[in-house]
């Protein structure tokens, strides 16, 4: 325990002799350490979380009728109608459920026009990579 206190003099009281000249010099490594900890937290926690929130907000604002989505509860359905904060999902032929827009977790497939474009893009990437239908080169 004494070794820890000797390595961190700012936790100890001033020496009995009253020599406190090493105060400002010993706080610099502490400030550098706190700066490094903050930088680590920023790059490993704060920045990725902000990026994820931005992507989610963009995905929710781009929702349109006909998109196939998954809610945070795991319910899959097709967007039947959209309002400001409400999404109505068609989960079966006769079943429609209202959800808060923020309850949509992800878009599985975009509208049918987007699906055909996705299939064309997927086919072109398979041709570019030299793979045939069997998956072999």
Q: Any idea what the CATH number is for the domain that residue 77 is in? A: 2.30.30
Domain contains 72: yes
Task: Look up the pTM and report it.
Answer: 0.55
| Residues β-bridged to residue 82 | 87
d(CA 72, CA 92): 18
d(CA 91, CA 70): 10
d(CA 13, CA 105): 54
Q: pLDDT for 121-132, tens place per residue? A: 444 444 444 545
Domain contains 68: yes
Mapped onto helix, strand or coil, the DSSP state of residue 63 is coil
Q: Cβ of 42: how many Cβ atoms within 10 Å? A: 12
Q: pLDDT for 42-92, tens place per residue? A: 999 999 999 999 999 999 999 999 999 999 999 999 999 999 899 999 999
d(CA 79, CA 108): 11
Q: pLDDT for 19-42, tens place per residue? A: 544 556 689 899 999 999 999 999
* Total domain count, the chain: 1
Residue-range definition of the domain harbouring residue 112: 63-124
């Amino acid at each position: 325990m004494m070794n820890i206190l000797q390595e961190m003099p700012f936790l100890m009281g001033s020496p009995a002799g009253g020599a406190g000249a090493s105060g400002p010099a010993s706080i610099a490594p502490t400030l550098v350490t706190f700066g490094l900890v903050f930088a680590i937290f920023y790059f490993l926690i704060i920045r990725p979380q902000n990026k994820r929130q931005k992507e989610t907000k963009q995905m929710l604002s781009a929702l349109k009728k006909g998109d196939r989505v998954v809610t945070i509860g795991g319910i899959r359905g097709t967007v039947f109608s959209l309002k400001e904060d409400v999404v109505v999902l068609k989960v079966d032929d006769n079943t429609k459920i209202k959800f808060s827009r923020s309850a949509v977790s992800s878009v599985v497939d975009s509208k049918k026009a987007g699906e055909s474009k996705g299939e064309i893009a997927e086919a072109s990437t398979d041709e570019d990579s030299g793979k045939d239908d069997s998956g072999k080169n």
